[in-house]
Chains A and B, each alone.
Chain A
């Protein structure tokens, strides 16, 4: 079946450090891949997406590249800020058909200190 595996947290970094959160997936066909962020007490916000192999999604300094050969979609940021502290979820949609569920990883908690 379809699944997402992401590195367990928490990840604790100092401000301006480099961030990598690993995400790998299992899916048949050609899924779309997403990173969502959840700030404390809030809903899920889309951070970035990639819909086909070798696509790079980027937003707010975060980047992730859809690697079909390694079935990965790792999240990176060159210099984190305290305001980036949140839970990050990697997700896939196995189909582009309307109504298809998103399958989420377990989430990785990022804590950035000044």
Chain B
């Protein structure tokens, strides 16, 4: 079965640089979520989109922005990167009308900021 695709899988950036993470949801899934997981930490919700509109917002820094496109893929844009942004970034998707918000996670993008 098709899964959530994230690219790149690994990314190394310098402080103050920018980064763009991409997420391709499972076909026919209309909702996308972004989470950040620091080393040894639980995933923290950043932001979600339903039908290309922002749905919920968590602890996403103002330096980050995201959007969902007409083909339902999503991009997380991160600017002025800081050392503390080094983390695993997960994208998840969910299908329409399931009634209980089960989210399917991608393999993650590991971002290292030097």
Query: Which residues of A pack against B, CB within 8 Å?
Result: 32, 34, 36, 42-46, 49, 51, 89, 93, 95-107
Contact = CB atoms under 8 A, between A and B. Distances in A.
Contacts of B48: 99-101
Interface stretch (B12-20, B76-84, B104-112): B104-112
B52 to A, nearest CB: 11
Contact of B31 (A49, A99, A106): A99
B94 interface: yes
Contacts, number: 73
Nearest to A45: B105
Contact of A96 (B44, B49, B101): B101
B45 A102 contact: yes
B68 to A, nearest CB: 10
Interface in B38-93: 41-45, 48-51, 55-56, 58, 90, 92
Contacts of B58: 101
B45 A103 contact: yes
Contact of A100 (B35, B101, B106): B101
28 contacts: A43-B108, A44-B43, A44-B92, A44-B105, A46-B102, A46-B104, A49-B100, A49-B102, A51-B99, A89-B42, A93-B100, A95-B101, A97-B55, A97-B101, A98-B30, A98-B51, A98-B55, A98-B96, A100-B55, A100-B101, A101-B33, A102-B33, A102-B43, A102-B45, A102-B101, A102-B103, A105-B42, A107-B42
